[in-house]
Amino acid sequence: MEIQKNHSAYLDPILERHAHRATDLLQILRAAQEHFGWLHPEAIDHLTRRLGVPRAKIEGMASFYAFLHLQPAGRYRVLFSDNITDRMLGSAALRERMCRNLWIEPGKVSEDGLVSVDTTSCTGMCDQGPALLVNGMAVTRLDAQRVDAICDLIRNQAPLAAWPTEYFRVVDNIRRSDLLLNPGFIPGAALTAARQRGGQGLLHEIKASGLRGRGGAGFATAAKWEACRDAAGEAHYVVCNADEGEPGTFKDRVLLARHADEVFEGMTLCAYVIGARKGLLYLRGEYRYLLDHLDRMLARRRENHLLGASILGQPGFDFDIEIHVGAGAYICGEESALIESLEGKRGTPRNRPPYPVTHGYLDQPTAVNNVETFVATCHIALAGGAWYAGIGAAQSSGTKLLSVSGDCARPGIYEYPFGISVRQVLDDCGAADTQAVQVGGPSGTTLATHEFDRLIAFEDVPTAGAFMVFDIRRDMFEVARNFVHFFAHESCGFCTPCRVGTSLLRNLMDKLHNGQGSPHDFHEIEKLDRILLSASHCGLGHTACNPVLDTIAKFRPAYELRLQQRRFVPAFDLDRSLQTARQMTGRDDGATHLHDEGSVR
Amino acid sequence: MSKTFTLDDKRIPFEDGQTILQAALAASVYIPHLCYHPDLEPHGSCKLCTVKVGGRQTAACTLRAAEGMAVESDTGEINAQRLALVQMLFVEGNHFCPSCEQSGDCRLQATAYQLGMLSPHFDHFFPNRPVDASHPDFLLDFNRCILCSLCVRASREVDGKNVFALAGRGLKTHLIVNAPSGKLGDTDFGGADKAAHVCPVGVILPKRRGFAVPIGERTFDKSSIADYVASRHGKRGGEK
């Protein structure tokens, strides 16, 4: 790309669109990068001047997000999804194949500045992987042939618009529908029903429904809305958390693709109850490809008086929704980090209390709910709380969308009433010889065969929706190691225990992987787990040890296989540390290897 | 009659709005901490001040004190965890105490002594963090940075300058300087800044003042950090 001296040419219209609001900084940087490919220092100069934000703050913010680049990252930026399900489908070999084909090293930009190939956390395409992102757009169902074809397209510098559309096709794979996924919702119907009941009446129905937040924690939705409504503030805000970053989860992607009307209508219902005039939907960067579709849906709702001023012709019922797009940070799924990100900052979880219901977006009362929760409220508004409370389990009313992936014949989205057994789900998705299921993603629970009669419900196995299946061929140690790498990569770095502890844990798991583990390392892992659990700032640190604790408890042989029966083995391997020297000298003969007891053969 | 809570076996008076740490320090009771400074907004990131309230662990610098609260702090379990956190900070950066100008005045080092640290325990990461000597009067040695963000907050909240910011994520989090060159010499940072005097370790050091006070006669050579902090807070109602 030629050096464009005049960065103001593309930045000024972007700044105009965002009314020069410094709180929109992340959105401004995203737009700037989509235009120029990366964030040029002179572009940052310009933004510093126009927004009055110190450049270190802009750089500090940009460097927090994996998808923003302060250095040229290649005209084609390829990121392979590195979730365990992608790996099980052969993503690592395909990535190597691409690197070999393009003659580049992973993680480095080619010398001509054309392309870089690296990995990223789960892109939410687990049911149609292996997947990658190219310049932020999702490519699914990779195989050797597709990878080779992509290499040719990159070498020939074909614009993404000229790539076969089939590559970018994302299918919904809905395998079992219930009340949320069944078609037939009429836009505006829930709002009309709500208006007949009034805000308090709607809140009453939601309370009666027993609806609990679908993001995983299960907080009562009515209690949240009520507390937010009653909190004093200059303005109230509705935020939809569509930062579906938990590896193995992709149900929000399907809801946004097929049921966006219900998502937006649920947000509008919330606005009606709490008295908000503005709503924000935080869409994870990996789902950037959905943005145009969602914007069209919003436009249509405005035309139909379901958004904007005087909704349904009711004077004073004014509400509109803005979409903010994330930029590759799992931590932004945590609601206070998400709000920081919406305000154009680093996605660091806030100190709580105060909670977002009283001090959220711009320090104002804010109701943050999951995509699926908002969809559920539409159906409660339509059919009433008592009806909804009759579905599902005692403490978990309604249905739950499960994102099923891994070793099964029919991966995809399954909607069940709460209280379904793990075994039933396994039967329905065509899983055979299953040894484990990871419910709720890496931060969730690893279930072994003797637990397959347990139930998906807040009172037994709670989940935000991930359901990854592992059959007897899989090495559960490697599954846990993949998750530990994920947490180390996604730790925000704010607090000491998580910033350092997740990396120490990753190194210990790698030590075991390399065959150098000793019983001593086991104690170390347990010690780190305790510190992460008790001293971390937020849920990421608290749960980062879950996959390790669970797999140690339930799949101990997978670990013991790797333990040398010596009291202590150093992580430092003399022979391996000579690898660089061997590479530099082009030698690999016996004389360049150490064969003493310090090396592991 | 003021409100009180209990900290281990002591009754601590507090005023509404005070955090556990603020009330404890005002009563001359030490709770280990590194990212807290009485003149700046609490941050809650180092987690050294983690205490147990009602069976749950929480940072004492951000939790407001409440009447009748029972807080555990000086216990074997919590101090063992604090020790591990300090060890994590040591292996995360490059801390070579014997050759550090701040040795004896360093709060990280003093806290490590206080907690009985005998070794770093964990494997070192040995990050590559070049030094910035561009400023005429100050040196930045990032090797010692513990990411407490005291300088970031002091520069923003007190000096109104925004000289520093945190960048990166996870273990790659690092301190940056607000200049196109990234160099301190290209900022308006000066010796009168609050930010020049809040670093708990040896990142921000004045030039040409090496070893003015001999090793052995420095702050924490003479008293433990617990005694030092408790006495200064109790007497003057504020640190530094």
**A-chain residue closest to B160, CA distance:** A54
- Residues A551 and A447: their CA atoms lie apart, in Å, by 9
The separation between the first and the last C-alpha atoms of chain B, rounded to the nearest angstrom, is: 30
Instruction: Name the residue facing A500 among B171, B177, B179 (closest C-beta).
Output: B171
Query: Which one-letter amino acid corresponds to residue A63?
Result: S
Pick the CATH number of A176-390 from 3.40.640.10, 3.40.50.1980, 3.90.79.10, 3.40.50.11540: 3.40.50.11540
**Cβ contacts (< 8 Å) between A490 and chain B: which residues?**
170
- Residues B134 and B187: their CA atoms lie apart, in Å, by 10
Q: Do B180 and A499 touch (CB under 8 A)?
A: no
Residue A600 pLDDT: 43
Into which CATH architecture does domain A76-171 fall? 3-Layer(aba) Sandwich (3.40)
Instruction: Name the residue facing A59 among B46, B48, B176 (closest C-beta).
Output: B176
**Cβ contacts (< 8 Å) between B162 and chain A: which residues?**
54, 56-57
Residue B101 is assigned to a structural domain of this protein: yes
- Residues A389 and A509: their CA atoms lie apart, in Å, by 44
**A-chain residue closest to B146, CA distance:** A496
Query: What is the token pair recorded at A262?
Result: 């219900």
Q: Do B88 and A496 touch (CB under 8 A)?
A: yes
Give the residue-averaged pLDDT of A152-162: 97
Boundaries of domain holding B144: 83-209
Q: For testing the chain B interface, which of A499, A523, A529 should be mutated: the one with the most B CBs within 10 Å?
A: A499
Give the residue-averaged pLDDT of A570-586: 83
Examine the domain organization and report whether B119 and B89 are in the same domain.
yes
* Cβ–Cβ contact B46 with A under 8 A: yes
Q: Do B165 and A57 touch (CB under 8 A)?
A: yes
Q: Do B169 and A537 touch (CB under 8 A)?
A: no
- Residues A345 and A25: their CA atoms lie apart, in Å, by 8
Query: What is the token pair recorded at B209?
Result: 């003042």
Residue A566 pLDDT: 65
Given B44, B74, B104, which residue is the final one in a domain?
B74
Q: For testing the chain B interface, which of A26, A495, A509, A521 should be mutated: the one with the most B CBs within 10 Å?
A: A495
Give the minimum alpha-carbon distance from A60 to chain B in angstroms, rounded to a whole number.
4
Examine the domain organization and report whether B58 and B109 are in the same domain.
no
Given B50, B74, B98, which residue is the final one in a domain?
B74
Q: For testing the chain A interface, which of B171, B172, B186 should be mutated: the one with the most A CBs within 10 Å?
A: B171
Q: For testing the chain B interface, which of A42, A51, A350, A500 should be mutated: the one with the most B CBs within 10 Å?
A: A500
Give the CA diameter of chain B.
Answer: 56
Residue ranges of chain A whose CB lies within 8 Å of a chain B CB = 41, 45, 54-57, 59-60, 63-66, 329, 346, 351, 488-497, 499-504, 507, 527, 530-531, 534-537, 571
Q: Do A488 and B59 touch (CB under 8 A)?
A: no
Residue B218 is assigned to a structural domain of this protein: no
Instruction: Name the residue facing B123 among A492, A531, A571 (closest C-beta).
Output: A571
Residue B234 pLDDT: 61
Give the minimum alpha-carbon distance from B182 to chain A in angstroms, rounded to a whole number.
8
Residue A181 pLDDT: 97
Residue A478, by phi and psi: left (phi above 0), alpha (psi -120 to 50) or beta?
alpha
Examine the domain organization and report whether B109 and B197 are in the same domain.
yes
Q: Characterize A428-453 residue by residue with b for buried, 16 or more Cβ atoms within 10 angstroms of its Cβ, and e for exposed.
A: bbebeebbbbbbbbbbbbbbbeebbe
**Cβ contacts (< 8 Å) between A45 and chain B: which residues?**
180
Return the bridge partners of A399, or none. A417
**B-chain residue closest to A507, CA distance:** B123
Residue A594 pLDDT: 80
Residue A601 pLDDT: 39
**B-chain residue closest to A486, CA distance:** B170
CA dihedral (B65, B69, B73, B75) in degrees, to 10, reads: 180
- Angle in degrees, CA A87, A90, A93, rounded to 5: 105
**Residue A530 or residue A601, greater confidence:** A530
Residue B169 is assigned to a structural domain of this protein: yes
Is the pLDDT assigned to residue B238 strictly greater than 60?
no
Is the pLDDT assigned to residue A565 strictly greater than 80?
no
Is the pLDDT assigned to residue B112 strictly greater than 70?
yes
**What is the pLDDT confidence band of residue A596, given thresholds at 50, 70 and 90?**
low
- Three-state SS at A449: helix
Instruction: Name the residue facing A496 among B47, B57, B170 (closest C-beta).
Output: B47
* Cβ–Cβ contact B81 with A under 8 A: yes
Give the minimum alpha-carbon distance from A432 to chain B in angstroms, rounded to a whole number.
38
A425-433 long-range contacts, Cβ below 8 Å, gap at least 24?
A: A425/A456, A425/A467, A426/A452, A426/A469, A428/A175, A428/A176, A429/A175, A429/A404, A429/A469, A431/A406, A431/A407, A431/A469, A431/A471, A432/A407, A432/A471, A433/A407, A433/A471, A433/A472, A433/A473
Query: What is the token pair recorded at A384?
Result: 């009433």
* A437-460 tens-digit pLDDT: 999 999 999 999 999 999 999 999
Q: What's the CATH code of the domain at B132?
A: 3.30.70.20
Examine the domain organization and report whether B92 and B61 are in the same domain.
no
Examine the domain organization and report whether B18 and B131 are in the same domain.
no
Mean residue pLDDT of chain A comes to 94
Q: Do A495 and B164 touch (CB under 8 A)?
A: no
Edge-first strand order for the sheet with A137-139 is A115-120, A76-81, A132-134, A137-139
* B171-193 tens-digit pLDDT: 999 999 999 999 999 999 999 99
Examine the domain organization and report whether B18 and B49 are in the same domain.
yes
DSSP 8-state symbol, B2: -
CA distances in angstroms from B110 to A167, A358, B104, B107, B224, listed in the order given: 59, 40, 7, 5, 7
Examine the domain organization and report whether B57 and B121 are in the same domain.
no
* Cβ–Cβ contact B162 with A under 8 A: yes
Helix axes A251-258, A371-383, angle to 10 degrees: 50
Q: Do A66 and B169 touch (CB under 8 A)?
A: yes
Query: What is the token pair recorded at B156?
Result: 């923003």
Top CATH class, A398-474: alpha beta
Instruction: Report yes or no: A130 and A142 within 8 Å, Cβ to Cβ.
Output: yes
The count of other CB atoms within 10 Å of the CB of residue A299 is 11
Give the residue-averaged pLDDT of A76-104: 97
Give the minimum alpha-carbon distance from A66 to chain B in angstroms, rounded to a whole number.
9
Examine the domain organization and report whether B205 and B87 are in the same domain.
yes
Give the residue-averaged pLDDT of B56-78: 95
Give all strands (DSSP E) within A51-145, no chain letters: 76-81, 115-120, 132-134, 137-139
**What is the pLDDT confidence band of residue A222, given thresholds at 50, 70 and 90?**
very high
Q: Do A488 and B171 touch (CB under 8 A)?
A: yes
* Number of domains observed in the structure of chain B: 2
Examine the domain organization and report whether B57 and B114 are in the same domain.
no
* A349-366 tens-digit pLDDT: 999 889 999 999 999 999
Examine the domain organization and report whether B33 and B68 are in the same domain.
yes
Instruction: Report yes or no: B193 and B163 within 8 Å, Cβ to Cβ.
Output: yes
Q: Do B169 and A63 touch (CB under 8 A)?
A: yes
**What is the pLDDT confidence band of residue B72, given thresholds at 50, 70 and 90?**
very high
**A-chain residue closest to B89, CA distance:** A496
**Cβ contacts (< 8 Å) between B173 and chain A: which residues?**
493-494, 499
- Residues B48 and A568: their CA atoms lie apart, in Å, by 29
Q: Do B178 and A490 touch (CB under 8 A)?
A: no
Residue B178 is assigned to a structural domain of this protein: yes
**Cβ contacts (< 8 Å) between B178 and chain A: which residues?**
54-57
**Cβ contacts (< 8 Å) between A59 and chain B: which residues?**
165, 167, 176
- Cβ-Cβ pairs closer than 8 A, A with B, add up to 117
DSSP 8-state symbol, A187: T
Displacement of CA A256 from its chain's centroid (Å) = 14
**Cβ contacts (< 8 Å) between A56 and chain B: which residues?**
162-165, 167, 176-179
- Same fold yes or no, A76-171 and A176-390: no
Residue B71 pLDDT: 97
Instruction: Report yes or no: A361 and A21 within 8 Å, Cβ to Cβ.
Output: no
Residue A553 pLDDT: 92
Residue B100 is assigned to a structural domain of this protein: yes
Q: Do B169 and A504 touch (CB under 8 A)?
A: no
**Cβ contacts (< 8 Å) between A488 and chain B: which residues?**
170-171
Is the pLDDT assigned to residue A116 strictly greater than 50?
yes
* Cβ–Cβ contact B55 with A under 8 A: no
Q: Do B89 and A507 touch (CB under 8 A)?
A: no
**What is the pLDDT confidence band of residue A2, given thresholds at 50, 70 and 90?**
very low
Q: Do A500 and B42 touch (CB under 8 A)?
A: no
Q: Do B180 and A497 touch (CB under 8 A)?
A: no
**What is the pLDDT confidence band of residue A576, given thresholds at 50, 70 and 90?**
confident
Domain boundaries, chain A: 8-62, 76-171, 176-390, 398-474, 487-560, 574-601
Give all strands (DSSP E) within A373-454, no chain letters: 392-393, 396-397, 399-406, 412-417, 420-421, 434-439, 445-448
Examine the domain organization and report whether B65 and B89 are in the same domain.
no
Residue B224 is assigned to a structural domain of this protein: no
Edge-first strand order for the sheet with A278-283 is A320-325, A278-283, A237-242, A366-370
Under 8 Å CB-to-CB from A63, ≥6 apart: which residues?
A70, B167, B168, B169
**Cβ contacts (< 8 Å) between A501 and chain B: which residues?**
88
Residue B146 is assigned to a structural domain of this protein: yes
Q: What's the CATH code of the domain at B47?
A: 3.10.20.740
Instruction: Name the residue facing B173 among A499, A527, A534 (closest C-beta).
Output: A499
**A-chain residue closest to B81, CA distance:** A531
Instruction: Report yes or no: B144 and B203 within 8 Å, Cβ to Cβ.
Output: yes
Give the minimum alpha-carbon distance from B114 to chain A in angstroms, rounded to a whole number.
18
Residue B220 is assigned to a structural domain of this protein: no
**What is the pLDDT confidence band of residue A568, given thresholds at 50, 70 and 90?**
low
Examine the domain organization and report whether B197 and B173 are in the same domain.
yes
Query: What is the token pair recorded at A145?
Result: 């042939």
The CATH number given to A487-560 is: 1.20.1440.230
CA dihedral (B25, B29, B34, B39) in degrees, to 10, reads: 10
Helix axes A371-383, A189-209, angle to 10 degrees: 100
